[in-house]
Amino acid sequence: MKDVYDNPLIARYSSNEMASNFSDDKKFKTWRKLWIALAEAEAELGLNISKEQIEQLIKYKDDINYDVANMREKEVKHDVMAHVYAYGIQAKKAKGIIHLGATSCYVGDNADIIIYNDALDIVLKKIVCVMDNLKKFSLEYKSMPTLGFTHFQPAQLTTVGKRASLWLQDLLLDYEELQAVKDAIKLRGLKGTTGTQASYLELFDGDHNKVKRLEALICEKIGFKDVYSVTGQTYPRKLDTRIINLLSSIAQSAYKFSGDLRLLQNLKEIEEPFAKSQIGSSAMAYKRNPMRSERISALSRFVLSIASSPAITASTQWFERTLDDSANKRLVMPQGFLAVDAILNIYINVTSGLVVYPKMIEKRIMGELPFMATENILMHCVKNGGDRQALHELIRDYSMMAGEQVKVYGKENNLIDLIKKDENFTISDSEIEKTLKPENFIGRSAEQVEEFIYDSIDPILKRHRKLIGYNADMKV
């Protein structure tokens, strides 16, 4: 046991993959990658940087002397300069050209963008896996009637698969937004202290084309398509807002799914997986609490709660830069990703093992179906010469009586029996029974599921087929 606080997002919930992506080791190795790219590009454009110096930088790119860097930071109170110093202790011949012309945001901001982009790749992989699970579930149950709910009150029938397609539709919107965010991400590039590139213009004796080429070269070496054309000292903090809004959107979708599933589990219609040795309650041994869905809800609520923070940060950056973004970014951005990573891990786990109880679903349908069938019965009788208004009033009266039987006395819905006994309804018992088939009330549910998946989901899953099959990393 540790004697200091340990962030539960790392200790209990998120994957090692996402936690490693936001590790100090990943960050500082990315800094060195950026310093190497800078030195290589400057050398290619004619600055006095030798091949031997670059080789030394490459030699130590993954061998960070953290003890030296940490000691130095305590002295100078500046993390970037501490790591420049530590790198120079190792790569002695390159010491004088490390970070040449750069400002702290060259490594800090560009590294953040790289790390966020890598984190989005992890999120993408997991969204695709959830989508694949929900696709299979939707198709399997596309034709199974189930009672629909509006206001959590009984409504027209839908199907189990059609309802699942609504969860899938939410994720489709998230997927599309994720792609839009990834397509729009750019490096900060080399902009200098206030974004003017003055230091680089000085290095290249006023040659604007070389400064532009320098930035393009670094972009190529780091593997990005583009840089922001203009910045202050930092990349636009609205990028953080856009990313966290995407994470919030994913959390909203997962929250909706988890809430629906918690209600369905209470209705005993669909349950999340329940392990053989799992304990539902320390006191009530019989309980099967939906703890995984509840955890999705809890983590999603956390993501929603932090989503406003980057917006406030972006809107309060004075002129070219102010440092009140730093501590906030260090907290909000990694934790937003860690939480969504955990949410998607659980979402994958739950959707890969949903348990459906057809008999309970049918029982609930048959308790409400008589009310829904009365419109068809009414139309049949009117066709046989019945008085529509008089029959409608009888149905209303019998519906009230049947509702009383169910709600007051706890008995079965006897509406159909009352109608069968009334000679005013010119319809045979066999015709009534045909009317009471649930599949008569699901409309185009099955066809909608098939068309939605064929048109909208299958192309995505085909595009990302190598990502499908990820085994969610659930620690507890």
Closest C-alpha among 406, 420, 412, 423 to residue 373: 420
CA 360 → CA 265, 355, 356, 423, distances in Å? 11, 12, 9, 33
Residue 395 lies in a domain: yes
pTM for the whole thing?
A: 0.92
Amino acid found at 337: F
Q: What is the residue whose two structure tokens read 């790219």?
A: 37
Residue 432 lies in a domain: yes
Check: CB of residue 381 under 8 Å from CB of residue 425: yes
Check: CB of residue 131 under 8 Å from CB of residue 416: no
Q: How many domains does the structure of the chain reveal?
A: 1
Per residue in 140-149, pLDDT (tens digit) is 999 999 999 9
CA 356 → CA 44, 143, 329, 344, 359, distances in Å? 64, 13, 43, 21, 9
Per-residue pLDDT at 275: 61
Per-residue pLDDT at 459: 98
Residue 379 lies in a domain: yes
Residue 433 lies in a domain: yes
Residue 373 lies in a domain: yes
Residue 27 lies in a domain: no
Residue 186 lies in a domain: no
CATH number, domain with residue 404: 1.10.40.30
The three-state secondary structure class of 408 is: coil
Joined together, the tokens standing for residue 141 give 């149950």
Rounded to whole angstroms, the Cα distance separating 220 from 88 reads: 25
Residue 434 lies in a domain: yes
Per-residue pLDDT at 370: 84
* Residues annotated as catalytic (active site), given as ranges: 151, 281
Q: Which residues of the chain have pLDDT under 70?
A: 1, 275-287, 473
Which domain, by its residues, includes 419? 360-441
